[in-house]
Amino acid sequence: MCLKMTGKVYLIGAGPSSDLITQRGLDIISKADVVVHDRLIDKKILDKARKDAEIIDAGKKADKHKLKQHEIEEILVDRGKKGKTVARVKGGDSFLFGRGGEEMLSLRNANLKYEIIPGVTTAISVPARFGVPVTHRNVSSSLAIVTGHEDPNKKESTIKWDQISHAETIVVLMGVGNLPKIVKKILKVKDPETPVASFQNAYTKKERVIHGKLKNITKIAEKQSLKPPAVTVIGNVVKLGEFWKNNQQNQQK
């Protein structure tokens, strides 16, 4: 009698750096037969994998994808059905604009065992890196997290910017390319003087802050060559960052 072997797939959020991945995530990566990882993870995490583990780079950059999403899901299902322990590793949290939900459904439809291991989301950890809390008792009691890069196959956007713009803090992920369009939509509701900051390459040696106000952030971002990956925060909480305080002091000198 031949027993059918099935493995288990772990959808792991790796956070924004190797220092912020959960212990549970590291434990699974160190034991996995297969590690399927995205482009933006801290590559130091891969040092924790077994020397004999199969490492699959599934990184995506704009329209340049090493593997299409359906191919990634096929790999996860294939290795799982072969009895492998699979670590699917994504930067930040895979359930926040990380397509983790799609991968989970593929595994579920294939009747494979899976486990979700949440990660520290960049939507909160990146602003925090620069001293910006996305909420603050005296400044902001509401938060909206929105993607700046919707599914290109959508006939039209499903983001209700007129509603989102009323949140006291707006965090935009993957929004560098569409920043001018996003700012234009938010300006229909928010004050042009509203502070804005984009945090580029956070938790790396190339990290930097580009900041201004809604009325001029597009020009500033263009002049300073803002590039992805970046997290953009819109709202008065931006003024709590040390970089904002220093900027204001320099302007007064």
Is 174 catalytic? The answer is yes
Are 8-117 and 122-252 equal in CATH topology? no
Active-site choice (42, 90, 104, 174): 174
Q: Is 108 exposed, middle or buried (0-12, 13-18, 19+ CB in 10 A)?
A: exposed
Tell me: the pLDDT tens digits for 163-205? 999 999 999 999 999 999 999 999 999 999 999 999 999 999 9
Strands 8-13 and 113-117: parallel
What are the extents of the domains in the chain? Answer: 8-117, 122-252
Is 57 catalytic? The answer is no
Tell me: the pLDDT tens digits for 51-80? 999 999 998 765 566 799 999 999 999 999
pTM score: 0.91
Is 60 catalytic? The answer is yes
Please report the pLDDT score of residue 150 as a whole number: 83
Active-site choice (31, 60, 213, 239): 60
The CATH number given to 8-117 is: 3.40.1010.10
Tell me: the pLDDT tens digits for 210-228? 999 999 999 999 999 999 9
The answer to whether 198 touches 213, Cβ cutoff 8 Å, is no
CATH architecture of 122-252: 2-Layer Sandwich (3.30)
